[in-house]
Chain A
Amino acid sequence: MVMIEVKDIHKSFGKVKALNGVSCTIQKGEVVVIIGPSGSGKSTFLRCLNHLEKIDHGTIIIDRIPLTDSKTHIHKVREEIGMVFQQFNLFPHLSVLRNITLAQIKVRKRSSEEAEQIARNLLDKVGIPEKADNYPFQLSGGQQQRVAIARALAMQPKIMLFDEPTSALDPEMIGEVLDVMKNLAREGMTMVVVSHEMGFAKEVADRVIFMDEGKIVEEGTPDQLFNNPREERTRVFLSKVLK
């Protein structure tokens, strides 16, 4: 079953062309890792998938709902797409628990008891049940990112987007976040991950996409892409990051 279908999308910021005709299809349960040099458009691509960036033209269909259709209620589609950001973006004025229950209560219209139960279960799952009543600034980066993952998962989304989730973390905290993501992948979540973690890509990705200059240059299984890249640009990039 197709979960995400992207056809020939274009996006410019002023004169800079961030996406220059990107098409791809992602199946339900697939884990796709997008790699590429900075400025290659990979984050922009991810942000287009939940309409944080509005595409200039092309089509995006999420779970059979066209994003670009004016009749589509974008908030409704976003409820089904969780997103995790490089800078965590937890709400600093709310406790960890409240960070995770807020959208459940206000958007999903769950009772606060139910929302809290779900939040506590998820905190268990990401390994920090004891931090429920803390505030984000009292947590380490790795802990904050795990709360951010729990917050997104609490909406029970069909798709999870990760925008360089470990890039702002100290090296010793990267593992704890990747472990949570690996578990999620094993449970069958549809995931699109922009990341520089080649180890993660090799271990859990079903497919790796290499982007450069706003286009998909090459895609394939991790084995194909890392061991036998077809394109020269892919080879050059990999030789820089895999040394």
Chain B
Amino acid sequence: MMFDFDVIAKNLPYLLSGVKFTLALACLVIVIGTFLGIVLGLSKLSKNRILRYPANFIVELTRDTPIIMQMFFIFFGLPALGIRLKTFPSAALAMSFFAAGNTAEIVRGAISSLPAGQFDAAKSLGMNYFQMMIYVIIPQALRRMMPPMMGLFTTLIKDTSLAAIIGAFELTRAGQEVIERTFRSLEIYLVVAAIYFIICYPLSYYTRKVEKARVTGY
């Protein structure tokens, strides 16, 4: 069997229409996950049990179950409770939880790795909790969060391909549809993989650069 370049050229526009949904899904998940993750991470660090215990529970749940199970649960499980979501929102919701759980751990780790003296200094200047977090702690924590967050974003972009399993339309699903029509698995999967690589490689590359910069900075 010859490698068929034609089938790639012909189907590339269709695959690229899948890329749009892959990127949309990834962006949605990154935005919601980051926001929710920061809230969860700060709650985990809270002295208040009413905040800390539920946050711990949610984070452990999202981190210690497979992301695909979370997707199955939302898409196939929730309808039994009368909650019916379409494929794309189901995937987005499941992945947002996964992203939030992992972000929460990154936030918690970054903040608790800061020297205790930074908290002491902020408090001794009369700052309240929010002033301390916004002006002193979070700016420093963000710097420590950057490399692991970028790593998480790369993982999230790749894992949007799991949405294909519940039938959400994105790059992988688009590829499967083309293969169903053309029976050209080799060419199409190769192109699909290459597209993921093109999206993710710059992120990985940039992550390494950020990690190196940290060694020289504070």
Contacts and interface: CB of A to CB of B under 8 A. Distances in A.
A85 B126 contact: no
Size category, B interface: 10 to 19
Contact of B125 (A47, A93, A135, A152): A152
B120 A78 contact: no
B115 interface: yes
Interface of A, secondary structure class, is mixed
Nearest to B121: A89
A221 to B, nearest CB: 29
B61 interface: no
A92 B218 contact: yes
Contacts of B118: 89, 91
A107 B131 contact: yes
A152 B124 contact: yes
B123 A78 contact: yes
B117 interface: yes
A107 B143 contact: no
A102 B122 CA distance: 10
Size category, A interface: 20 to 34
A76 interface: yes
Nearest to B128: A75
B184 to A, nearest CB: 53
Contact of A93 (B115, B122, B127, B218): B218
Given A87-B115, A89-B121, A91-B118, A106 B127 contact: yes
A89 B115 contact: yes
A47 B115 CA distance: 16
A24 B179 CA distance: 83
Nearest to A82: B124
Given A52-B123, A91-B136, A106 B117 contact: no
A70 to B, nearest CB: 16
Interface in B60-117: 115, 117
B137 to A, nearest CB: 10
B139 A93 contact: yes
The CB with the most chain A CB atoms within 10 A, among B120, B121, B122, is that of B121
A89 B117 contact: yes
Given A52-B124, A90-B121, A151-B125, 16 more contacts: A47-B120, A75-B126, A75-B127, A75-B128, A78-B126, A79-B126, A83-B124, A85-B120, A89-B117, A91-B121, A92-B218, A93-B139, A93-B140, A93-B143, A107-B126, A152-B124
19 contacts: A47-B120, A52-B120, A75-B128, A78-B125, A83-B120, A85-B121, A87-B115, A89-B117, A91-B118, A93-B140, A93-B218, A102-B125, A102-B136, A103-B126, A106-B127, A106-B135, A107-B127, A107-B131, A135-B218
Interface of A: 47, 50, 52, 75-76, 78-79, 81-83, 85, 87-93, 102-103, 106-108, 135-137, 148, 151-152, 155, 161
